Amino acid sequence: MPENTVTAPLAPMDPDDVAAAFAYIRALQAGDIDPACVVAHGTSPELRRLLLGVAARVFIPVTAVDDCDGEPCAHSFLAATLGRLLLEILCHGVCLANAPGVAETIVRFTENILTEDHDDVTDVLRQLEAAGMKQAIEAHPARPTTA
């Protein structure tokens, strides 16, 4: 059986990056193109990288099943591989590799995998943003200013 490649947690993102990425995702999910364009313009050319960072933090924890009753099993490897494959497609797939494609994939994943009722997508995206922001703030505490 192959060795489980699920490793240490991903490094936290910067709080501003979390806020920008989720502002873009939520704007696209709501169909608000103008706010999405404002975020895209304000973060260009980094938006795609920020969205891929969010995608990794959404997909990997959901698909990373370390074991089955304390022992690695085929399902844990399959789930982890699925998460990595989805990220690989977003990173290198021609049709999904742009910022809207990554954001829409995050929304669809949230809708189809992370929610039982498709009406909860906005709430789940807010929860994911709050978790990412908490991790980012803990990793990047405000630095005291020098007077």
Alpha carbon distance, N-terminus to C-terminus of the chain: 59
What confidence tier does 115 reach under pLDDT thresholds 50, 70, 90?
Answer: confident
Please provide the average confidence, as pLDDT, over all residues in the chain: 78
Q: Which two tokens stand for residue 114?
A: 């992370």
* Side-chain-facing half-sphere of 27: CA atoms under 13 Å: 17
pTM for this prediction: 0.70
pLDDT at 4: 35
Amino acid at 110: T
pLDDT at 5: 38
Task: State mean pLDDT over 120-135.
Answer: 89
* Beta carbons within 8 Å of 138's beta carbon, 6+ residues apart: 12
- β partners of residue 68: 71
Instruction: State yes or no: pLDDT of 116 exceeds 90.
Output: no
Q: Which two tokens stand for residue 36?
A: 């999405």
Cis peptide before 144 (omega within 30 of 0): no
pLDDT at 27: 93
Give 40-48 contacts, CB < 8 A, sequence gap 24+: 40/99, 46/17, 47/20, 47/21, 47/99, 48/97, 48/98, 48/99, 48/102
Contact yes or no for 135/9 (Cβ under 8 A): no
Task: State mean pLDDT over 31-43.
Answer: 90
Instruction: State yes or no: pLDDT of 52 exceeds 90.
Output: no
Alpha-carbon distance of 128 to 23, in angstroms, equals 12
pLDDT at 147: 43
